[in-house]
Amino acid sequence: MDIALFEHKSEFEWQIRPFGKMRVPGVIFASEALMREMDAKVYEQVTNVAMLPGIVRSSFAMPDAHWGYGFPIGGVAAFDADAGGVVSAGGVGFDISCGVRTLHTGLNAEDIHAVQERLADALYHAIPAGMGSTGTIRLDDKQMNAMLRGGARWAVERGFGTPGDLERIEEGGCMQGADPAQVSEQAKKRQRDEMGTLGSGNHYLEIQQVTDVYQPDIAAAFGVKPGDIVVSIHCGSRGLGHQIGTEFLRRMVMAAAGFGIELPDRELACAPINSPLGQEYLGAMRAGINCALANRQILTHLTRQVFSRILPRAELPLLYDVSHNTCKVEEHKLDGHLKKLFVHRKGATRAFGPGHADLPAAFQSSGQPVLIGGSMGTASYILAGTKLGMQTAFGSACHGAGRAMSRHQALRNWGGRNVVDELAGRGILIRSPSLRGVAEEAPGAYKDVSAVVDAADGAGLARKVARLVPLICIKG
């Protein structure tokens, strides 16, 4: 990307002054190296988002930003419903509430090394993964609607976890305002036997070791220390979320002119928040969030079952669960006053700072855990939300490394078997139903996650707390 297009506000902040039909500035948080490597389409998408009605403060992009559908992946934007603000299906994305949860184990690397092959195989057979993967749970219409209303709470009530899990999940495990009636029968059909499955793409379940701690006081509040083994699960709302996104984008494109909305890009299809279509989408999208929360909760239960057989002394309490790809109503300071805003985060993580009322008591002094995923052979990170981040980008941070090349490019550069063998030589066991999928998600296809995290830390969006490396990866 041409950095001459930006005003360099600070080491990790780059601004696009409003021009043309932009209503607010565009801001990208990144180092100069990340900016130069970023695809130019991000500039275009950040400026297009800044043209949408009712947007406030700025159109933001996180350090892992790359070209997405409508919004850049890594895009954050907040809208004021009282000022004609809109909700955009493209600003949430297709994999609604794709997210990461991390579990403690109480184990160390020696415990894992003794059973590494056996544990990898057992997890692979217990956790359905891959394109079109299905689980053993099949929901009828009544159960489907209950799940879409109840999220992780629904799962816990059916024995997939404990009430204590809900205290460590955004929204207490259940997104209020979900309306299953706005979810089409086709979307429900796609999800009927996909609960408790990873899916494909960049989704995974990883056994990870904590190698470094950067903020000992915050790490202690999170319950992590060097040498600890944790489990991280990355997945979303599967076919249901994709169907919701597809259907509402089509409806929003067709309705835009009737609302008097001039779209800078058809992929930014949106509707006024206070319109019937806007409210219908919010009801369906919130149901999609609950689907993802329930899905990750069931996967947690399946993981605990495997550990209870192979490493029975392990306990797997939940550290935290964060969602990406959402639009949430939040109170933020705007022009010195608290204002309810509709905050879109697409490929971005909520990162609330210390003292926020929505955080559990355990995190009031530390800020929210922010879980940043790696890519099979690369590190993952735990960060913490900051008060500065609340003022800067509505309490938001990056969500991963971000792709550096397309899946097609990755297939030209790597073979799946070669990736598996190379990682095995480094002590990382990969289990996947698709070698093609492994090649598409090769570590080299992504940006340097450490550079992305350093930029988020340097910009004050979130503080770097701990570094994790993979030992086992079940790849979708």
What residue segments make up the domains of the chain, in order of their start?
3-404+446-475
Tell me how far apart the 2 most distant CA atoms of the chain are, in Å.
64
399 given a catalytic annotation: yes
What pLDDT, on the 0 to 100 scale, is given for residue 101?
98
**45 confidence band (pLDDT: 50, 70, 90):** very high
**136 confidence band (pLDDT: 50, 70, 90):** confident
Tokens of 347: 């490929």
CA distance 180 to 124: 32
Give the model confidence (pLDDT) of 426-473 as tens digits: 999 999 999 999 999 999 999 899 999 999 999 999 999 999 999 999
pLDDT of 158 strictly over 80: yes
The residue whose two tokens read 């947007």 is: 55
pLDDT of 272 strictly over 80: yes
Query: What's the predicted TM-score (pTM) here?
Result: 0.96
Which residue type does 396 have?
S
Catalytic residue among 66, 104, 344, 399: 399
Tell me: domain 3-404+446-475, CATH 3.90.1860.10, correct? yes
**What is the percentage of the chain residues whose pLDDT exceeds 90?**
94
Q: What is the overall mean pLDDT for the chain?
A: 96
Q: Which helix (H) or strand (E) holds 201?
A: none
pLDDT of 393 strictly over 90: yes
Give the model confidence (pLDDT) of 219-262 as tens digits: 999 999 999 999 999 999 999 999 999 999 999 999 999 999 99
pLDDT of 14 strictly over 90: yes
What pLDDT, on the 0 to 100 scale, is given for residue 129?
86
Q: Which helix (H) or strand (E) holds 79?
A: strand 73-79
- In 164-273 the beta strands, taken as DSSP E runs, fall at 204-213, 229-235, 270-272
**20 confidence band (pLDDT: 50, 70, 90):** very high
What pLDDT, on the 0 to 100 scale, is given for residue 68?
94
**132 confidence band (pLDDT: 50, 70, 90):** confident
What pLDDT, on the 0 to 100 scale, is given for residue 213?
98
What pLDDT, on the 0 to 100 scale, is given for residue 214?
98
Residue 137 half-sphere exposure toward CB, CA atoms < 13 A? 22
What pLDDT, on the 0 to 100 scale, is given for residue 134?
81
